[in-house]
Amino acid sequence: MAEFPIASAWRDPAALAALSEQLARERVVQLSGVLAELPELPPAGQLEREERPGFVVRATGPPLLADFWRSPALAEWLAQATDARWELRGCRHERYGAGDYSLLHDAEGEGERLLLALDLTQRPQALFGGFHIFSFADGAQATCERETGALLLARLGAGDLDCVRYVSQLSQGAVRLECAHFELS
């Protein structure tokens, strides 16, 4: 994968200015076709099963894009897009199969933070589910449907929840996400 894989259209100053304005109005934004090339997915057997019923049931593993999430180029891109400086707090690969979910995300109650989630799901189908559902401290909510290759940016504050990712029991496939969490630096 290229050293800085964000497609040139999303690095354009006008596109970054428009993204910055959109993030000032909306707390959750989804960008299509952000990466010029998507990484290869590891086999499901290489991921570790995480089960805390009532909180989370999924498989996780090391991030596929660790160098990208940690890159100074991404930090600069995020600073231009959000008008703030961010420091990577953690990143991982997540797989949600039939019936898997996460509820009451670990970040509940923390200060201002930024979630980036890259959708790597292959052959998306309606039955897969896996929606990102956000609940904000002021009572507002946002739901983002999945789109392969899309990058979700969610700017969250104290009391905001990144609460539910759910996959239908009828699903024959799996939702694959690459997630990175940032905090203000």
| 153 backbone dihedrals φ, ψ, rounded to 5° | -115, 120
Rounded to two decimals, the pTM is 0.90
Q: What is the pLDDT of residues 7-54, one digit of tens each?
A: 989 999 999 999 999 999 999 999 999 998 888 887 778 899 999 888
Per-position b or e across 99-116, b if 16+ CB within 10 A of its CB:
ebbbbebebeebeebbbb
Distance CA 117, CA 65 (A): 11
Q: What is the pLDDT of residues 111-155, one digit of tens each?
A: 899 999 999 988 766 567 778 888 888 999 998 888 889 999 999
Residue 139's CB is within 10 A of a number of other CB atoms, namely 6
Question: What domains does the chain contain, in order, with CATH numbers?
Answer: 8-184 (2.60.120.620)
Find out whether 174 and 95 touch, Cβ atoms under 8 Å. yes
Distance CA 129, CA 110 (A): 27
